Amino acid sequence: MPTLLFTGPGGAGTTTLAAAAAVRAARAGRRAVLVTGQRPPSGAAEQPGLDVVRVDPQADFGTFWAGRAGELSGAAPGLALPPATSVVPLPGTGELALLAALGRVPDGAHTDTDVVVDAGPLAAAAALVALPGALRWWLEQALPTRVRVLAAVRTAAVRAGTLRRGAADLVLEAVPELEALLQRQALTDPGATAVWLVALPRPAAAADLRRAATALAVHGQRPAGVLVRVLPEGGAGDWWTARLGEQEAALATLAGVAPVHTVPETASAPEDAGALAALLPDLPGPSAGPAAPAPERVEGGWRLTVPLPFAEREDVQLTRWEDELVVTAAGARRSLRLDALLRRCVVTAGTLAAAGTGAARLEVGFAADPELWPADLLAAQAGNGSEDVGEGIGEDVGEDIGRTR
């Protein structure tokens, strides 16, 4: 079930182009679903074969609260809970509502379904892509394996009637539902979700999109392309000439972020499905991205490389916490679970190579931890006469890369 995710700076026309892509998918004979938090163009609802899912975070949160408040009051007598109309939604409710809406899109038998997501502004889209990983991380912290085993025993006892159902049981009962939702998400997989950036050809656009590309890369995603709304041909005069010059310069800069596809600007908003379909060509769908970071054998140990296009030295932070490597860049943070090999190693270096360019990458050096490796294997390592993996790679990323227990 391929997914196209659209995002861009405010005013760039993200919602309109997302709707246009959904209409084109439906007109090609595929089942299409448009998921958006904005009011889509009226023509989208007119297209046969296209389902429009309008997400209203406040209303959705109210519905969720109304369904749970009664159970919570019954499990905790005396607890005064506000009605759904008085509940203030938590920050991040918008992204969570979009994620839940995606989880409700039928899959399985509908393998020919195209899902188009209007993810809103760049920061909101980055938060949406990060959300499944963040929820998995918090689930693991709050309910590690040993706690889940105990929770399963308690749930069985409650169902058998030997324990009274309490507020904690409501939380535990919601965990499988959340895990099922997360299992269906592939927002961080370029092979399943293609991210399209929408921009105006202005000088500031490139900087915004480069930062978005870095934030997406933290979570393993990358832009499939940039859709740029350009002036139509045929204009005249000094103003038009100046704008065209600015536009050409901006297009050249944006091409360094991802492949550019131009979308001619129109005098008025599209009024029907046909006008929407005419805005865009057929866009490429998701394609396999680079392999997930894996350790590479080098002199002195191993190296793990994480692509971070356009990242700058001062914007990158690297920490090690137990068996996780935590990478922060462009305001985004991701915890990478180390494999069995690297868990038994210490971090020796963290460097950012080719900083500020599309080839920027974080290179993390590892060496065998003497406390966790057998003595004979350590002796074999020492006999190689190897050098420090971090030497000469690039600019140091930080000092907080030791193991934190």
**pLDDT tens-digit series, residues 267-278:** 788 888 999 999
Round to whole Å and give the CA distance between 32 and 114.
Answer: 5
Among residues 25, 26, 32, the alpha carbon closest in space to that of 284 is found at: 25
Residue with tokens 């868990």: 343
> What pLDDT, on a 0 to 100 scale, did the predictor assign at position 91?
84
* φ and ψ at residue 23, rounded to 5 degrees: -65, -45
Round to whole Å and give the CA distance between 79 and 68.
Answer: 13
CB atoms within 10 A of CB 398: 14
> What pLDDT, on a 0 to 100 scale, did the predictor assign at position 75?
62
Round to whole Å and give the CA distance between 17 and 12.
Answer: 9
Q: CA dihedral in degrees (195, 196, 201, 203; nearest 10)? A: 0
Round to whole Å and give the CA distance between 234 and 257.
Answer: 28
DSSP letter at 315?
A: G
CA-to-CA dists, residue 136 to 123, 209, 333, 337, angstroms? 20, 27, 14, 12
Judged by DSSP in three states, 286 sits in coil
Instruction: Enumerate the CATH 3.40.50.300 domain ranges in the chain, comma separated.
Output: 3-277
Q: Which residues in the chain show pLDDT less than 70?
A: 71, 73-79, 107-111, 166-167, 169, 375-405
pTM: 0.86
Domain 3-277: top CATH class: alpha beta
> What pLDDT, on a 0 to 100 scale, did the predictor assign at position 223?
95
Round to whole Å and give the CA distance between 394 and 297.
Answer: 18
19-52 pLDDT, tens digit per residue, is 999 999 999 888 899 999 999 988 888 899 999 9
> What pLDDT, on a 0 to 100 scale, did the predictor assign at position 313?
92
Round to whole Å and give the CA distance between 28 and 22.
Answer: 10
> What pLDDT, on a 0 to 100 scale, did the predictor assign at position 110?
45
Element at 224 (helix H, strand E) = strand 223-230
Among residues 126, 112, 321, 282, the alpha carbon closest in space to that of 217 is found at: 126
Instruction: Enumerate the CATH 2.60.40.790 domain ranges in the chain, comma separated.
Output: 296-404
Judged by DSSP in three states, 111 sits in coil
Domain 296-404 grouped into CATH 2.60.40.790: yes
DSSP 155-215: HHHHHHTSS---HHHHHHHHHHHHHHHHHT--TT-TTTEEEEEEE-S-TTHHHHHHHHHHH
Round to whole Å and give the CA distance between 61 and 128.
Answer: 17
